[in-house]
């Protein structure tokens, strides 16, 4: 622990000290502190060090942090996204491997994914650190409160577990994979999305890339690193796909740049630029250059 109350750690995969890259601030929520991004060349993993200790990180998840608030996208954009199939793309990617069964959505946030699973062939469960009571009531499925890398819900023989935008937030990624392994049936599926290191946004925006999201994103894993962690936990990788991409992530990079200049404006909330860049970003995602990748793993 250093004088600022931050801690220094090694690579989450191999423990090496890695090489210092640059300093980061909380551009997303504007909370105080300066953190360091390091890179382990052996594993190709970027990780935060110094970082906020686990006991203090909850103060960096204010109510305004997007995953916990209702979807603020205007209705007509949501309808348009639905019409072109973007809204349901993640569900279709899951159903490509599994037509139904029991599924646990870890990090369910505002319940957007569970709402897509509303059909008789899916038996759903949800888990998150904190779930808004109104969201829980609306979901109508069993909701477990807790941190997946500390505890696992009292379930067994699940067909699938989803970790959408969760893995990069975990202090104990190996323990989370172990819990997934114990909860799944043999040949059960684990779906993970993480910010992808191979994308154009990172190259354009550098340290202001939204994927760094300090101090909440503790580590960003390459395919090689994730494959190693999955293999150690008793999984094998089945597929890696670009996750759906509507342009809001790209514009959130501009939010970060504005925040750096002390301007609290959010271009990601402006509709005309979102519409204007959507086709180009959709095309980039089609050739694999999406800022978020979905990993599909199966229990051995």
Of 71, 127, 119, 111, which is closest to residue 95 (Cα–Cα)? 119
- Tell me if 13 contacts Zn ion by CB under 5 A: yes
- Tell me if 11 contacts Zn ion by CB under 5 A: yes
In the list 6, 9, 24, 43, the residue contacting Zn ion (rule: CB under 5 A) is: 43
In the list 5, 8, 14, 74, the residue contacting Zn ion (rule: CB under 5 A) is: 14
- Tell me if 48 contacts Zn ion by CB under 5 A: no
Sketch the per residue contact string, 16 through 35, with Zn ion: x for CB under 5 A, - otherwise. x-------------------
| DSSP helix/strand/coil, 2 | coil
- In Å, how far are 88, 90, 91 from 125, measured between CA atoms? 19, 17, 15
Rounded Cα gap, residues 192 and 76, in angstroms: 29
Rounded Cα gap, residues 128 and 164, in angstroms: 11
| Distance in Å, CB of 40 to Zn ion, minimum | 3
Q: What does the block give as tokens for 244?
A: 């759906």
| Distance in Å, CB of 66 to Zn ion, minimum | 30
Q: Are 278 and 247 in contact (CB under 8 A)?
A: yes
| Distance in Å, CB of 231 to Zn ion, minimum | 15
Rounded Cα gap, residues 246 and 232, in angstroms: 34
| Distance in Å, CB of 190 to Zn ion, minimum | 22
Pick 13 or 294: Cβ nearer Zn ion: 13
In the list 40, 219, 243, 297, the residue contacting Zn ion (rule: CB under 5 A) is: 40
Rounded to 5 degrees, φ, ψ at 244 are -50, 145
| Distance in Å, CB of 10 to Zn ion, minimum | 8
Q: What does the block give as tokens for 111?
A: 């319940």
Stretch that binds Zn ion, among 42-50, 69-77, 124-132, 145-153 (CB under 5 A): 42-50
Q: List contacts with Zn ion (CB under 5 A).
A: 11, 13-14, 16, 40, 42-43
């Amino acid at each position: 622990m250093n004088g600022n109350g931050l801690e220094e750690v090694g690579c989450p995969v191999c423990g090496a000290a890695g090489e210092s890259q640059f300093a980061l601030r909380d551009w997303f929520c504007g909370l105080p502190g300066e953190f360091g991004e390091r890179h382990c060349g052996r594993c190709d993993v970027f990780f935060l060090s110094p970082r906020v200790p686990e006991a203090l990180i909850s103060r960096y998840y204010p109510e305004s942090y997007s995953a916990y608030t209702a979807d603020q996208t205007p209705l007509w954009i949501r309808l348009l996204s639905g019409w072109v199939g973007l809204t349901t793309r993640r569900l279709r990617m899951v159903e490509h491997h599994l037509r139904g069964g029991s599924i646990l959505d870890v990090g369910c946030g505002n319940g957007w994914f569970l709402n897509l699973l509303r059909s008789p062939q899916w038996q759903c469960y949800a888990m998150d650190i904190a779930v808004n009571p109104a969201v829980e009531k609306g979901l109508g499925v069993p909701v477990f409160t807790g941190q997946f890398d500390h505890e696992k819900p009292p379930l067994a023989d699940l067909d699938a577990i989803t970790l959408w935008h969760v893995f990069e937030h975990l202090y104990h990624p190996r323990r989370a994979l172990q819990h997934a392994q114990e909860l799944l049936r043999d040949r059960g599926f684990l779906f993970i999305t993480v910010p992808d290191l191979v994308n154009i946004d990172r190259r354009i925006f550098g340290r202001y890339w939204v994927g760094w999201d300090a101090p909440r994103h503790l580590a960003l894993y390459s395919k090689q690193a994730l494959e190693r962690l999955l293999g150690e936990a008793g999984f094998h990788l089945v597929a890696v796909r670009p996750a759906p991409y509507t342009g809001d992530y790209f514009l959130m990079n501009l939010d970060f740049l504005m925040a750096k200049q002390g301007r609290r404006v959010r271009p990601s909330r402006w509709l005309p630029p979102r519409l204007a860049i959507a086709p180009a970003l959709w095309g980039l995602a089609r050739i694999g250059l999406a800022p978020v990748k979905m990993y599909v793993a199966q229990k051995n």
